[in-house]
Chain A
Amino acid sequence: MQAASYVLSVGMEVHAELLTKTKMFCRCPNEFGGEPNTRVCPVCLGLPGSLPVINRPAVEHVLRTALALNCRIAMRSVFHRKNYFYPDLPKAYQISQYGETNPLGHSGYMDFFTEDGGERRVRIRRVHLEEDTGKLMHLPGRKSGVDFNRAGVPLMEIVTDYPPDIHSPQEALDYSYQLRLLLIYLGACDGKMEEGSLRCEPNVSIAPEGHQELGTKTELKNLSSFRAVQSGIRHEAERMRHALERGDTLKQETRGWDEENEKSYVMRVKEFEDDYRYFPDPDLPPMVFSEEYIEGLRAALPELPTAKRKRFMEDLGLSDYDARLLLAGPAWARFFEEAVAQGGDPKQVCNWMNGDFSHLLNEAGRTAEASKVTPAHIADLTGLIASGKISGRIGKEVFEHVFQTGRMPSDVVKEEGKEQITDAGSIREVVSEVLSQNPEAVGKYREGKKGVHGFLVGQVMRKTEGMANPEMVNRLVTEELER
């Protein structure tokens, strides 16, 4: 009997800690790591009588993200209390935003490129602002303790629309990748999945093909890399398929992903939404925005990754693959654009950046900004090669010098005598010399064994220590042999 075919549906919930100096409702520093409970105050500890005050830049990060995700903006938006008991939540409620049209942004979409170069659109249901919780730690002797340094850190939640637009682990990965990139370009979040500042939590369900209704969903947590997002979803879909084929009923639950052992485990069976008893937080006045303010934010948005990628491909003639590599970080893309602005040929600049430069940076464990190479160096180098002053092969040597010393490629070429020999007269001289020293090879050539041509070219290159222009050598060797 053929196994039934199932359709996978994935809704994505992404939590992003915002890049602010302070927490969401108090002025404790918003940082990562450090000794436990060293960034706490009465507000984020939920002590009686304390009063939260809204962090304005955090709100702006969310509004800018919502605009970048083509959302409608709630011109009046309030915070709600989401009530539940858990030890990482000092107030017994989390300040969040409830409702369909109350969250700062809603009803948007994100267009992006998939890894195979296709274009996709995923609808966004809402973008809202809340506060992060504390962190539970396990102590020896089966004891639990809480560190509240993270409690109250501004947290943006981005939720895809329902029914889901994502139907494969790869699409979920592409979506997460592009969303992370977007947040980094906006400066809203540092995107460090391994530190938990960006957390992707997919809702996974499967249903027999042709069924209108979606299956029971599970929410996956602890996915701390893109690879985990992909394999976590794939494994979850498989687990569900096996369960259904055995005739089991699926439970709506939250499952954690164990990356090392590549399997998920039950964390908790989900409470129903109504049980959170949301209500408007009376301590926090509503936020009201003017049209003018919102339009100002929209106008000030930077060029976003998808638009940049399109421009790199359409205007600068780069391949999809090259463009994707250049966009990997805003600083890297900026480096590229500056080198091009300084006269570098886009394709050549791109090749040097994604090739030798990346290679040397990886080896040295350094970022482009921390290296001695500037966009001017790359532009200069590609200029030297384009004008024929040096060959591509010498270019590699020169670039290594540049990488180590930070000297300008033109200076290295001048001072180290790296300039290519392009004078036909002196090349011809060497060619004649090589031919007279290799009468046998010349004889073979004239008998029709044209293959020795390459050997003779090699001899000329060796004699000139690789400095002769290879194309000219090629041509002149032929000329002399045919003479």
Chain B
Amino acid sequence: MAISLDELKHVAELARLNLSNQELNAMQSDLNRVLESFRQLHELRLSGVELTSHSVDSTSVWGEDEPADGLSRSDALEAAPSAEAGLFLVPTIFE
């Protein structure tokens, strides 16, 4: 169940991580240790145990559909690296 270097590179690309060969090697062994832990978990007999995707045992928590104040535009934009014309500036996108 080890992760190959190619798989690792693919995951890094999806996460937009630019990793050096040294970093890739280190990360590969780290991830393989994580995967090894999962392998051990896989050995447990879990048939009949319900799938747990949420750590808190609550369901159907609803919000009411009533508007409330959010952030002012200046507050919202203040945290942005750069803003212009009321917009968050982002790397140029061409479509």
Contacts and interface: CB of A to CB of B under 8 A. Distances in A.
Interface of A: 20-22, 25-29, 35-42, 44-45, 47, 53-59, 76, 78, 83, 85, 87, 136-137, 139, 142-148, 256, 267-268, 275, 277, 279-280, 282, 285-289
Majority SS of interface residues in chain B?
A: loop
A431 B89 CA distance: 84
A478 B6 CA distance: 99
Nearest to A38: B73
B58 interface: yes
Contacts of B54: 78, 280, 282, 285-286
Nearest to B62: A56
Interface string B57-71: 011111111111011
B50 to A, nearest CB: 11
B89 to A, nearest CB: 5
B83 to A, nearest CB: 8
B55 to A, nearest CB: 7
A449 B71 CA distance: 87
A286 B62 contact: no
Contact of B73 (A28, A35, A44, A144): A35
B14 A145 contact: no
Contacts of B68: 22, 27-28
Contacts of B61: 53-54, 285
B90 A146 contact: yes
Contacts of A38: 73, 86
B66 A146 contact: no
Contacts of B91: 87, 144
A41 B70 contact: yes
Contacts of A58: 65
Contact of A55 (B63, B84, B90, B92): B63
Given A40-B76, A285-B56, A85 B67 contact: no
Contacts of B38: none
A143 B84 contact: yes
Contacts of B79: 47
B5 interface: no
A147 B79 CA distance: 15
Given A139-B84, A285-B58, A287-B60, A87 B66 contact: no
Contacts, number: 129
B62 A144 contact: no
Contacts of B89: 139, 143-145
A143 B65 contact: no
A282 B90 contact: no
B59 A37 contact: no
Nearest to B68: A27
Interface residues of B, number: 35
Contacts of B67: 21-22, 27-29
B16 interface: yes
Contacts of B95: 136, 256, 267-268
Given A45-B71, A87-B91, A35 B65 contact: no
A76 B59 CA distance: 9
A2 B77 CA distance: 62
Given A20-B65, A22-B67, A139 B76 contact: no
B85 interface: yes
A145 B88 contact: yes
Contacts of A285: 54, 56, 58-61
Contacts of B53: 78, 279-280, 282, 286
Given A35-B73, A37-B73, A45-B71, 15 more contacts: A22-B65, A25-B63, A36-B73, A38-B73, A39-B70, A44-B70, A45-B76, A53-B61, A53-B63, A58-B65, A145-B84, A277-B14, A282-B55, A287-B60, A288-B59
Given A55-B63, A280-B53, A145 B90 contact: yes
Nearest to B67: A29
Nearest to A137: B87
A91 to B, nearest CB: 14
B62 A54 contact: yes
B92 A56 contact: no
Nearest to A282: B54
B75 to A, nearest CB: 9
Contacts of B59: 76, 285-288
Contact of B62 (A53, A137, A142): A53
A409 to B, nearest CB: 43
A85 B65 CA distance: 29
A41 B90 contact: no
Nearest to B83: A145
A100 B95 CA distance: 31
22 contacts: A20-B65, A22-B66, A22-B67, A29-B67, A36-B85, A37-B77, A37-B88, A42-B70, A45-B76, A53-B61, A55-B65, A139-B89, A144-B91, A145-B87, A145-B89, A148-B88, A268-B95, A279-B53, A280-B54, A282-B55, A285-B54, A287-B60
